[in-house]
Structure 1
Amino acid sequence: MDTAELLVRLGGVHSLGFAAFHLAFWKLFDWKRDLARNSRANRAIMQILNLRLVYVFLGMGVLALAFGRELPATPLGRALLGFMALFWVGRLLEQFVFLRIHDWRVHLLSALFALGAALHAVPLSLA
């Protein structure tokens, strides 16, 4: 296994970890109680968006683990890696725009977003 494939597979584990994290949102953030204060539409939108993110993370995780060698070696795979690298860069920037909380957990998430960007971008320069 070369370095690019290893990083892609680690990116897959990263994505699966974020899928699990997002599945825990209902309990972690007490969404049953907390979202009850929102309108029905906003409650639904939050949960639907979260489930769609879980779907994206599960899909990318499975693809990265199943096609770790092919992703950095094919045009379509490279496009998908670039798409996910930009996803994580965007998520990192949004962290600073929307979640201006000085807390170690928020900083840890920021580091994990940067890691996601690197795990998807670096293989592009190695293949």
Structure 2
Amino acid sequence: MHDIPLLLCALHSFAFAAFHLAFWKLFDWKRELARVDLPTRAITQILNLRLVYVFLGIGMLCLLFPAQLRGTPLGRAVLWFMLLFWVGRTVEQFVFLRINRPIVHILTALFVLGAVLFAWPLLAA
């Protein structure tokens, strides 16, 4: 049987990986990024792909190593890392993306959900 909290953490991570892979189409990056210089265009896309890699890696860790994530100092450090990642991302939402639109509020809620999900196994340990 799967560890439900970590399964939910994995699903959340995989969903954000898929979301980030859709950025090219969602934000019309072919046209939009053509407006900025090459380094900015390259860095934006590279950072986005590395973030996809991190989300996929964390998702796989949650699926493949639930006992180690819950039961070892290194595993708990990974959970804390992701908890703080989502807390930081939530704060950054208010600092950098001050847009009053429903989709922005939904994204903010999903960032908070990430923090809650990664806190859950820490609290239950």
Shift of 1:69: 2.9
The amino acid that maps onto 1:30 is: D
Q: What is the aligned partner in structure 1 of residue 105 from structure 2?
A: 107
Shift of 1:70: 2.5
Alignment of 1:1-127 (within 5 A): 1=1, 5-127=3-125
For 1:7 and 1:117, the matched residues in 2 are separated by 12
Shift of 1:68: 2.0
Shift of 1:8: 1.4
- Residues 19-65 of structure 1: per-residue CA shift (max 9 Å, x gap): 00000000000000000000100000100000000000000001101
Q: What is the CA RMSD across the aligned residues, in angstroms?
A: 1.1
For 1:76 and 1:70, the matched residues in 2 are separated by 8
Asked which structure has the greater RCO (Cα within 8 Å, sep 6+), the reply is 1
The amino acid that maps onto 2:78 is: L
For 1:9 and 1:77, the matched residues in 2 are separated by 15
For 1:55 and 1:122, the matched residues in 2 are separated by 23
Partner secondary structure for residue 66 of structure 2: coil
Q: Give the TM-score normalised by structure 2.
A: 0.96
Give 4+ residue runs of structure 1 displaced > 6 Å after superposition. Answer: none
The amino acid that maps onto 1:48 is: I
Unaligned runs of 5+ in 2: none
Unaligned runs of 5+ in 1: none
Identity %: 65
